[in-house]
Structure 1
Amino acid sequence: MFKVSVFLCCLCLCALTPYIALAMTPEQRAMIHSHFETIGKTCIKDNVISEQDINDLRAKKVPSGPNAPCFLSCMMKQIGVMDDSGILQKETALEMAKSVFQDPEEIKIIEDYLHSCAHVNTASVSDGEKGCDRAMLAFKCMVENASQFGFDI
């Protein structure tokens, strides 16, 4: 049951890829859902998160478990929005959004949203290339900033 539930928390990580919050076809939503489910199952093997963390992610809250930051880092790296050095790659996220949306206004909103959290790349973190601390900072920022850009994540 626990691993089956992982895909639900992965959907909450759509905050990392804000284009999911915009109008999507059922097929696009299913494709992204499947992708996140696969990544989540991979990441949870080395970064087991608790049921509480899963519930927090479902509720669009920042998880507090000890493995949650590294789970988020694993997800971000697997998705491609964080590089192997633990640095967020907003350009990669923007390119992913452009592959789903063609409307220039939507792309601009996504770009501004991603830029609003770019400061996490210059934040001091204690784990360097591991990226866990930075992943948590990014997730917090994206959750906090989502509503000002019209995202219901």
Structure 2
Amino acid sequence: MKVLYTVSVVIVLKLTAAITLHEHITIIQPKLTNHADDCLEEYPLSTEDLAAFKNGEFPEGSDAACLGACVLKKIGLFDDLGSLVKDAALDKAKEIFTGEGEMDAITDIITKCAKINDEVTEDGEKGCERARLLFNCLNEIK
């Protein structure tokens, strides 16, 4: 369960890496764990993929990318077409980030990374490639 928690948190917390505090993680963790459980059943990860996620890296395998898309869809950050839903992401962030300046930082990050929706991907509405693009965008910003 600890590895599963780590995987699910890495996927989403990249959005908030610069400002995430322990209190945010305790709010986010329960929301992610159930979704990650469901997604891992559909997209099982290898030991190597799990190790990469634990190290804060996005694994190369397609199952890892699809797991990311699955979790993002289940929490409402990706729509059924596999695209980032900027307004939904901001609304969800408002539920968690209430400190001074936090929403400004989150809004800036989400706005910059919304460019992933303009990228042409080959997996269409699965959103796997777009999940990887989002992860890469978040890494570039931090």
1:10/1:32 CA distance change after superposition, 3 Å: same
1:62 shift after superposition: 1.6
Distance 1:30 1:66 in 2: 29
Structure 1 residue runs without a partner (length 5+):
148-153
2:15 touches 2:138 (CA, 8 Å); kept in 1? no
Number of equivalent positions: 142
Distance 1:62 1:144 in 2: 13
Q: CA RMSD in A?
A: 2.0
Q: Which of the numbers 30, 45, 50 marks the counterpart of 1:49?
A: 45
Distance 1:53 1:107 in 2: 31
Aligned equivalent of 1:115: 111
1:142 shift after superposition: 1.2
Matches within 5 A, 1:1-153: 5-15=3-13, 17-18=15-16, 21-25=19-23, 28-103=24-99, 105-145=101-141, 147=142
Q: Which sits farther off after the overlay, 40-49 or 99-108?
A: 99-108
Calculate the TM-score normalised by the size of structure 2.
0.88
Distance 1:16 1:131 in 2: 17
Distance 1:89 1:16 in 2: 16
SS in 2 for 1:117: helix
1:81 touches 1:92 (CA, 8 Å); kept in 2? yes
Identity of aligned residues (%): 28
Distance 2:110 2:58 in 1: 18
1:38 shift after superposition: 1.0
Distance 1:143 1:15 in 2: 11
Q: Which ranges of 4 or more aligned residues in structure 1 deviate by more than 3 Å? A: none
